[in-house]
Amino acid sequence: MSSRDAILGRIRRSLGASGSDAPRLAAVRHRLAETPVNVVPARGQLPSAERIDLFVRKAGEVFATVVRLGGRDDIPAAVAAYLRDRNLPQAIRRGDDRRLADLPWEREAQLAVTTGPSDGSDLVGLSHADAGVAETGTVVLTSGPDNPTTINFLPDHHIVVVDASTVAGDYETVWADLRRRFGAGVMPRTVNLVTGPSRSADIEETLLLGAHGPRSLHILVVG
């Protein structure tokens, strides 16, 4: 007997159940198809403007820095300003995502913009989030041909653009959106929920930022 059959057989024996029992199968099918929502905190259930305020406040509480921009065209200048303020070279790496590619980068003549995955030599990465979650100040990033996951982890500084209209109150709203875009039960290879910069408290429980991932997380909320 294969290990698979042995394990499933033992589980069924312990439960006193069968793998072809109709009510059990129906219960599982129902839950997987209907994906019922459990308890959702009231905290994020707010009108748009307040929800975005909560997102900004929560992201700040976990040591992300947040800047709000009036429009998408302000992004290149905001990126250049971030690099200047921290005495960083005017260079970033980003994916080919249209939401980032179509910006007026030419306005920042000093800024070198390279595209594609990071090999670890980039100081600053720029990504576009698919959503924000107000409940905890979390940004949601999905992988794809134009969105390398390495940019989210290897650079010392991670700048993330979030469209204000995509800031949800809770994770459940994000799941519903993922199902709409990718299909029920289908996920991109990697979905990263990122809440603040990398940290560790493994030495004497002292909280330190910048363990293995980015030392700083800078969020640009657009609109």
Q: How far is the CB of 129 from other proteins (least distance, A)?
A: 14
Nearer Cβ to other proteins, position 10 or 84? 10
Nearer Cβ to other proteins, position 111 or 191? 191
Buried b (16+ CB within 10 A) or exposed e, 183-200: eeeeebeebbebbbbbbe
Distance CA 145, CA 190 (A): 12
What are phi and psi for residue 208, nearest 5 degrees?
A: -125, 140
Expressed in angstroms, the distance from the first to the final Cα of the chain is 60
Q: How far is the CB of 139 from other proteins (least distance, A)?
A: 11
Nearer Cβ to other proteins, position 80 or 158? 158
Q: How far is the CB of 167 from other proteins (least distance, A)?
A: 15
Q: Which amino acid would we find at residue 219?
A: I
Q: How far is the CB of 71 from other proteins (least distance, A)?
A: 28
Instruction: Tell me the Ramachandran region of residue 59: left when phi exceeds 0, alpha when psi lies from -120 to 50, beta otherwise.
Output: alpha
Nearer Cβ to other proteins, position 153 or 163? 153
Nearer Cβ to other proteins, position 106 or 204? 204
Residues 125 and 157: beta-carbon distance below 8 Å: yes
Q: Which amino acid would we find at residue 55?
A: F
Q: How far is the CB of 164 from other proteins (least distance, A)?
A: 20
C-alpha triplet 200, 87, 81: angle, nearest 5°? 100
